[in-house]
């Protein structure tokens, strides 16, 4: 997973931490799982980096309980993303959700 440490601001990190550490029911698209994975990878990349330029990000993450987040991620990591399909009584569920735009060809 690509982690753009150079692009992360403290407000973005605080927002991710807020969403990932707040208890809520899982959403249809499992966006919480994505944020947890991203946050855990940020922590992993910071652990591997010796750079002092990320001190603000490290401070934002200093109060995070990493063991708790790892356990939370492991609980939802392999859940099927079929809640939306069941809600709409569909017989198939995609493993993830994305915006699909048809290609439009214009000739003049």
pLDDT digits (tens, 9 = 90+) for 9-54: 999 999 999 988 887 666 656 678 888 989 999 999 999 888 788 9
* N-terminal to C-terminal alpha carbon distance within the chain: 41
> Which residues span the domain enclosing 79?
5-87
Dist CA 59 CA 104 (whole Å): 47
- The encoded tokens of residue 35 equal 């944020």
Domain tally for the chain? Answer: 1
Is position 77 within any domain?
yes
Q: What pLDDT sits at residue 99?
A: 45
Residue 45 covered by a domain: yes
C-beta separation of 8 from 59 below 8 A: no
- DSSP string for residues in 48-61: H---GGGHHHHHHT
């Amino acid at each position: 997973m690509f982690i753009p440490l150079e692009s992360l601001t403290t407000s973005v990190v605080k927002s991710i931490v807020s969403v990932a550490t707040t208890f809520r029911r899982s959403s249809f698209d499992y966006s919480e799982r994505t944020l947890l994975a991203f946050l855990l990878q940020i922590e992993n990349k910071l652990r591997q980096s010796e750079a002092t330029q990320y001190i603000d990000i490290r401070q934002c993450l200093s109060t995070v309980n990493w063991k708790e987040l790892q356990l939370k991620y492991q609980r939802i990591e392999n859940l099927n993303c079929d809640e939306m399909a069941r809600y709409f009584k569909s017989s198939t569920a995609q493993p993830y959700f994305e915006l699909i735009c048809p290609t439009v060809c214009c000739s003049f």
